Structure 1
Amino acid sequence: MDSKGRLLAQAGTSVDMTRSIEEDSLVDGPLISADALHSAIRRQFQTVPTHCHAGLLSLLHIVYVVLSVCVSVLCVLKFGQVEVCASVLRNVSGDSVIVFGKVCLWVLVLVVTQCVQHHHSQARRRGYLRFYRETQGLNHLPLTVHSAGNVLVLVVLAARLSSAVQTYMLLSILGLELLVAVPCLFYYAVKVMRFNGERAAPDVSQEEHSHTYSVTSLPTETGFREGSSLEEVVEKQADLIEYLKQHNTLLSKRLLNLTAQH
């Protein structure tokens, strides 16, 4: 019995020594600095290129309105050379050309809106939830304005007014659309350019930084607070959870790469 006890004691001692050696090897291994991880993650910032889409759409909208005014004045109201308009437009009336152009412009606005929504969804998945919510209404505003303009154009066409009155009504609708849509696109482009220029970290990282270096930091928007909507809080938490999953996956890959380099 004494020999068995001695063997067990020696075995336990050897096991403890082996564990301590393994733990010491893990502790003494190459440590990865936080700066290396933060720099690796910051390189993942991707700009949102939709300000170019907004600028191009504004330019095309202005060109369309200018051409519509020229067609209305020269061809419909007949303040210019009627023969030139007939040779250019063939058998199509000037009002029809304006309506066809408006349909093409609406389709272009629809495509641009879907493209902008795609880029903003990508930014939301990368953790920029505040930027996504601040620009969510601006994304669909040009499409809403043009859709409302299409409804007004249909009402004017269905009213069967005289040619001159109908042309003036169409030009008024196009001018109102221009005055509403272009400033919105300009404001949206400024916000996107400011966001790209700041190159800020995701919202979660900013909140962690504010909690670390600020003693009297304000509560974040993650939890439920008085006066906040429950659906809004749940949506924010869902976006936050989705981002944290992708962030952890990215962090794991960076850890593996940096440990392999060391």
Structure 2
Amino acid sequence: MESSGGPLYAPAGPSVDISRSLEEDSMVDGPLISADALHSAIRREFQTVPTHAYGGLLSILHVVYVVLSVCLAVLCVLKVGQEDVCASVLGQVKGDSVIVFGKVGLWALVLLFTGCVQHHHTRARSRGYLRFYRQMEGLKHLPLTVHSAGNVLVLVVLAAQLSPEVSTYMLLSVLGLELLVAVPCLIYYTVKVMQFNRERAAPDVSQEEHSRNFSVTSSPTETGFRECSSLEEVVEKQADLIEYLKQHNTLLSKRLLNLTAQH
């Protein structure tokens, strides 16, 4: 029985090896994807942040609003010889009230701009651009902070119940100061976003991997914990990187299938 049992079970190993080798050969015989093709496919996935156009438009609207407010204050509030024209255009509405209404409308536009910026920056963060997200974190909220502070100063001026001339000058001073602070911030933000879109850089993970592979004197990456870094910041960065890697792996699998089908 033992001698007869040997031949019965002996061929099992080679048959399994043959089937495995056939399966492996079928996988190897598939079309190979070059690294250049895969790299170019990943590079095409860069998505620009369109908020630079909104920032430029908002800057122009802010300048136009201040210029019109100055003209309206001089002609209709201080009444420099244009009372009839102001009465025909504004009717029963006072000139300083129109300026305040315009200020509220401009603040609403800045609030909408801030929400739009937050949305697009969050999307850039999910695509792996955590460094860009952190660099613009304080700058993207600064215009709204400046306009909100200007609204508070305008309310203080109106609540003080000063003479019409003094109140108008104070109101124009607030608008001018707001213009000098908010518009440079918007211009600087617009320039930074345009630079980011023009560079079309790879996500932070890819940049760190590239520097670690090709730079001999490269500094350690910031993914791990460092004594000088905050633990909360490290945990947040790691969570962002993990979320990005999940999305990136899914997108990379789709690209591999598409390129395999093309070849």
Does the residue aligned with 1:80 lie in a helix, a strand or coil? Answer: coil
- Written as runs of structure 1 = structure 2, the 5 A alignment for 1:206-225 is 206-225=207-226
Distance 1:146 1:135 in 2: 18
Shift of 1:4: 2.3
Distance 1:208 1:105 in 2: 44
- What's 1:107 paired with? 108
Unaligned residue ranges in structure 1 (runs of 5+): none
Does the residue aligned with 2:11 lie in a helix, a strand or coil? Answer: helix
Distance 1:80 1:189 in 2: 41
Shift of 1:143: 0.5
Distance 1:80 1:233 in 2: 64
Distance 1:57 1:37 in 2: 39
Question: 1:73·1:80 contact (CA, 8 Å) conserved in 2?
Answer: no
- What's 1:24 paired with? 25
- What's 1:187 paired with? 188
1:105-161 deviations in Å (ceiling 9; x for gaps): 000111111111111111111111111111111111111100000001011111111
Q: Which amino acid aligns with 1:123?
A: A
Q: Which amino acid aligns with 1:224?
A: F
- What's 1:229 paired with? 230
Q: Which amino acid aligns with 1:93?
A: K
- What's 1:53 paired with? 54
- What's 1:63 paired with? 64
Q: Which amino acid aligns with 1:64?
A: Y
Distance 2:49 2:6 in 1: 71
- Written as runs of structure 1 = structure 2, the 5 A alignment for 1:108-257 is 108-257=109-258
Q: Which amino acid aligns with 2:79?
A: K
Shift of 1:260: 2.3
Q: Which amino acid aligns with 2:208?
A: E
Question: 1:55·1:185 contact (CA, 8 Å) conserved in 2?
Answer: yes
Distance 1:35 1:4 in 2: 55
Shift of 1:29: 3.2
Distance 2:14 2:247 in 1: 44
Distance 2:105 2:22 in 1: 73
- Written as runs of structure 1 = structure 2, the 5 A alignment for 1:71-90 is 71-90=72-91
Q: Which amino acid aligns with 2:223?
A: T
- The more displaced of 4-13 and 69-78 is 4-13
Does the residue aligned with 1:55 lie in a helix, a strand or coil? Answer: helix
CA RMSD for the aligned pairs? 1.2
Q: How many residues align?
A: 262
Distance 1:202 1:108 in 2: 31
Unaligned residue ranges in structure 2 (runs of 5+): none
Distance 2:49 2:86 in 1: 43
Question: 1:121·1:132 contact (CA, 8 Å) conserved in 2?
Answer: yes
Query: What TM-score, normalized by structure 2, do the two folds share?
Result: 0.96
Does the residue aligned with 1:240 lie in a helix, a strand or coil? Answer: helix
Distance 2:84 2:260 in 1: 78
Shift of 1:168: 0.5
Matched-pair identity in %: 81
Whether 1:36 and 2:37 are equivalent positions in the alignment is yes
Shift of 1:237: 1.0
Q: Which amino acid aligns with 1:141?
A: L
Question: 1:68·1:98 contact (CA, 8 Å) conserved in 2?
Answer: yes
Shift of 1:15: 1.5
Query: What TM-score, normalized by structure 1, do the two folds share?
Result: 0.97
Runs of 4+ in 1 over 4 A off after TM superposition: none
Distance 2:241 2:19 in 1: 42
